[in-house]
Each structure stands twice: as C-alpha cells, then as structure tokens.
Structure 1
Amino acid sequence: MFRRLCVVMATIAVASSGFAPAAQAQPDPVQEFAITSEVPSLAELDAQIRLLVGTPAPDSVKAAQLEGGSRAVVVPKMVYRIGFFRPPRGSSVVTGPETHDGDRHTAVINASRQGAPTVQVEAEWRRIDGRWKLASKSLCNGIKTLGLPIPCNFQ
C-alpha cells in the first residue's frame, strides 16, 4: 500500500511539473547592448561610454563596443580599474558638437574626477556590421590624454 502511494505521488509530481510555468531567462541588457540606429544619439553614445569605463562588464561585451575588438579591451578595463571616470569620484558624459558622415560619427567625451580638471576627448565612432563602435584612434587619443602606459597597437 505504501509503495503504491509513493508511485501515485511521484506520478502526480511529474505530471504537474509539466503545467508549472517555466522560468524564462531574461536577456542581460549589458550583454545585449548595441547601438544600431542609423545616426547614434548622444544618449546612446553616452550609455556606451558608461558601459565601457563605468561598469565591470565582461571583456566580450566591451570588445563588441570597440573597433579594435578584444585587442582594445585593455583600455576601458584599465580606465575602469583606476576608477577615473566613474562614481563616486568621477563621471563622464558625451556631448556635442557632433558630426555625422555615413558610417562615421563624432562627438566629445567629457570626463572628470575629483580634484582634476575635466578631460575632453574628441571621439569618433564607426558603424561596422550595423553597430556603432568606438574607433581605435579615439582610444589612442584617450591613452595619450590620460598618459596611460598602454601601447596603441590595436588599430
């Protein structure tokens, strides 16, 4: 009798599990970040820069935002680790003036940190395979402006 009850309970448990709502994995907005609009907005470019230098996002996510790909990830990783331009002591914002010419777009990255003057880097983005990526030459400008000990060899 006990055995029959165990079999019935196991059958009910297995049968009812088919009716339980399945847990849906939600896409990670950081993993899915891409600027695909025809002309990128300042808000989109700003969000991309914040992702690159203000978050501990995985290397693969950062590489997808850079013209130089995985070879160039060392730059935003170092800037993030140093904490130059992320809260609580720093910040960044992308502003105009902007230019747009086909698959090239420019804007200005303004980055500041406590006790230091605001740094302005003229930056260029390039549309590659339908996504706007920060150009390698912009990373090189940033390396030079900040005086980072990184060779600019990812172009």
Structure 2
Amino acid sequence: MTSAAVMASAAVTLSMVIAPVAIADPAVHADPAAAGEFAITSEVPTLAELDAQIRLLVASPAPDDVKAAQLEGGVRAVVVPKMIYRVGFFRPPKGSSVVTGPETHEPDRHTAVINASRQGAPTVQVVAEWRRIDGRWKLASKSLCNGIKTIGLPIPCNFE
C-alpha cells in the first residue's frame, strides 16, 4: 500500500471515529449522564424531550438511579435499558434511535413512536407510552414490555 493510500485510509478511519453524533436537542439534554438532573416536566412533552430520554436510557452509561427516575417501573425496570445499552443495539456506532410521531396526548398519558435501528437489521418501531407521574413524564412499563417482545430479549416483564 502506498503512503498516500495509508494516509487516506487513516483519514477515513479518523473521520468515522470523530464524526459528530446527532442529539435530539442539546439544550434539553447536553449531558445525558449528568446526575439525576434530567426530567421531562412540561405539560406536553416534546419529541426532542422524549428522544433525549430514550437516548439517556439506551445510549448512555447513566447510573441506575438516573435511569430508574425515567421509568414508570423505577428500579425494577432498569434491567431493560441496561441490557439494551450493554448490547449496544441502538447506540452509535452501529445503531441509533429517534422518537417520532404520530403522537397522542391526554393530561397524564402521551404516546409517540420509538424508531430503533442497528446495523444489518431492519428498523424496529415501537408505539410507546409515557405516563405523567408526580409531574414527570416516565416511560410506561407496558412500553418496556412491548420493546422486550419486539426485540426478543430474554427478560421477564414483571415490573408493571
């Protein structure tokens, strides 16, 4: 391999390593692993807020208590996002996720679609529900159960 080819190959590899990763809304959630500061408290959650929450759950190494605060099932349900994070299904560099519409909204219930993809597999779409509990929007346990079934994870759905 010529030195020009080696340099070109190195440049491509470096650009892949340092390429920016899109975040739903940096102002909403610049550091997903920040100590328990993340909470969706708006009357109607935005797609950017829901997307940031899902990224916090499945694409960040946030501590268990931070993840538990985002889940209707609390600490009992943390096993699901922890496993998805460890396997790396839906986080860079080989996967991604984004929350999109259509959305529905009621005072204490909101739905949207989680689109999750990983290299070499079709995009998985899960209609997800969030519940407003003590003024915070949390991912509903039934949505975690739907995700477990859709992905085929060996986790019992016993945190509802």
% identical aligned pairs: 87
Q: Which residue of 2 aligns with 1:154?
A: 159
Deviation per CA, 1:65-107: give whole Å up to 9, x if none.
0000000000000000000000000000000000001100000
Which amino acid is the alignment partner of residue 82 of structure 1? V
Structure 1: which 4+ aligned runs deviate by more than 4 Å? Answer: none
Matched residue, 2:11: none
1:64 correspondence with 2:69: yes
Match of 1:118 among 98, 104, 123: 123
How many residue pairs are counted as aligned between the two chains?
A: 128
1:106 maps to amino acid: T
Could you tell me the TM-score, scaled by structure 1's length? Answer: 0.81
Structure with higher Rg: it is 1
Aligned to 1:81: 86
Which blocks of at least 5 consecutive residues in structure 1 are unaligned?
A: 1-27
Aligned to 1:44: 49
Provide the rounded CA distance (Å) in 1 between the counterparts of 2:36 and 2:60. 12
Q: Secondary structure at the match of 2:149?
A: helix
Question: Runs of 5+ in structure 2 lacking a partner?
Answer: 1-32
- The CA deviation at 1:29 is 3.5
Amino acid at match of 2:149: K
2:142 corresponds to which of 137, 143, 149: 137
Report the AA paired with residue 80 of structure 1.
Y
